[in-house]
Amino acid sequence: VQDTQTVVKSHLNQEAKQFDICVVGGGILGVSISFWLSELFDCRIAIIEKEQDLSFHTSSRNTGVLHRPFYLDPEKKGIMARAAEKSYHMWSKFASLNNLPWAPVGTLEVALKDEDLTTLDKYKEWSITNGMGENETEILDFQGVKSLEPEVKCAGAFFSKGDTSVDYRDFTIALANLARKNGVVLLPHSNVKVVEETKSGVVITLERKPAEAKSSIECKLLINAAGGGSVDIAHMMRLGKNYTDLYFRGEYWIVDEPFASKITHNIYSVAKYKEFPFLDPHYIIRANGIREIGPNAVLVFGPHAYNGISTSASQLIKQLFEQPNLPKVRLFVDRQFLSLVWNEWRSSISKKAMCGRVKQFIPSLDHSTLNKRGISGIRSSLIDDHGFIPEAVLLSSDKSFHIMNYNSPGATGAPSYSAYIVSQLGERGFLGGFNKKITNRAKALWDYEGASDLGT
């Protein structure tokens, strides 16, 4: 990152103002898209990031699990499922070439009640449809679970043996280094404030720290991969006005030893409310071996409200009354939604309440073993008049392309999903003006054709 900042400073000193492509967002998605574009095309690319470092927000504030796609309904989440399947093999090669942590701990997704056991059969079916091997998974009865994890109590579980713990920040930085070698310029401390489409391209007004001075740059194509800021950027360009987003903070607690090591797999429970982004907290093993419980999903009023209730009173008011507010009004009169919001809040305020949720499947876990909070992350969930949107939403104008609602397992699926985005850009005629590179190094690492084909 220090390297990155040096490059940026010297670049800004030379007053670079024109690029072929500007990618807004230095998270795992923006970096992966920039990597592919710089591998395939001879053009000037900049990543615009408002923070001082890459991977500052969600891409380094997550559970760190490389999810196998057994739990993704191929009908509703097929694109993400196929991206996750392909990316698992891509990340595996990437981690080994770059010496990055790779801990294949496996996940037990537990059925708390007999009624949930049918979901495990469904997972088996989905795992095969989504491309997983027959031997990668197993349905266990309660005794099978006991012999694997004596502390876990449940009616049965789906065992996905390949789920792997990684550090997505490391992955993002390593991939950004490859993009940089291909000539991609990184512009940190550059907050996109205004975007205007002109006849010849896009003019982006940036607010730059530390002086907060305004400056503008131009590009032929803008790609919006700004995570929690992506809806605002789309709205700046008068796109996606029927969408708005809600922010849910996922909080974690670190489990102390000696209890922590008694459990050797990730333990998730079958989701109760599939239409809402509320998952019961899991027991997870980080890539560095630390055990945590989490995340919950506490409604907050900003994409970076990592502590407290909201980032500021003005942000709260802006969020509630921001147009379109009808989708929010609809949700806020839904009693089930409100009761879930309330329960999540309880587990934010009370460590005992949070622990109680995990105790449903690990009864011996005591809240006295939870003495330090982990790093919380915020999920931005897109809603429209019909409620929550299950997959990522792609929008475009003449000279811009926008990816919104890129949520879990977004970090898992990034290498393949970003290749798919590049293929979408090609199909929609955005890349016609740029020269293709004759050879690309990516072939030695990842195969673009295979990665980008998500069967749509």
Ligand X SMILES: Cc1cc2nc3c(=O)[nH]c(=O)nc-3n(C[C@H](O)[C@H](O)[C@H](O)COP(=O)(O)OP(=O)(O)OC[C@H]3O[C@@H](n4cnc5c(N)ncnc54)[C@H](O)[C@@H]3O)c2cc1C
Q: Interface residues with ligand X (CB under 6 A)?
A: 24-30, 48-51, 56-59, 62-65, 67, 191-192, 225-229, 233, 250, 295, 377-379, 406-412
Q: Which is nearer to ligand X, 117 or 225 (CB)?
A: 225
What does 150-165 look like in DSSP terms, one character per residue?
TT---SEEEEETT-EE
Smallest gap from Cβ 258 to ligand X, in A, equals 26
DSSP-derived pairing of the beta strands 213-224 and 202-208: antiparallel
What gap in Å lies between CA 422 and CA 34, rounded to an integer? Answer: 9
Contacts of 212 (CB under 8 A, 6+ apart): none
Q: Which is nearer to ligand X, 191 or 310 (CB)?
A: 191
Q: Which is nearer to ligand X, 154 or 411 (CB)?
A: 411
Q: Which is nearer to ligand X, 46 or 154 (CB)?
A: 46
Amino acid at 57: H
Smallest gap from Cβ 113 to ligand X, in A, equals 25
Q: Which is nearer to ligand X, 153 or 205 (CB)?
A: 205
Q: Which is nearer to ligand X, 56 or 283 (CB)?
A: 56
Q: Taking each helix axis as running N to C, give the angle between helix 78-98 and helix 410-427, from 0 to 180 degrees, rounded to the nearest 10.
A: 110
Smallest gap from Cβ 330 to ligand X, in A, equals 23
Spatial CA neighbour of 242 closest among 403, 399, 424, 386: 386
Smallest gap from Cβ 221 to ligand X, in A, equals 16
Spatial CA neighbour of 167 closest among 110, 211, 217, 101: 101
Measured CA to CA in angstroms, residue 282 lies from 150, 171, 216, 346, 362 at distances of 17, 23, 44, 17, 10
Smallest gap from Cβ 165 to ligand X, in A, equals 9
Smallest gap from Cβ 20 to ligand X, in A, equals 18
Spatial CA neighbour of 19 closest among 222, 322, 156, 212: 222
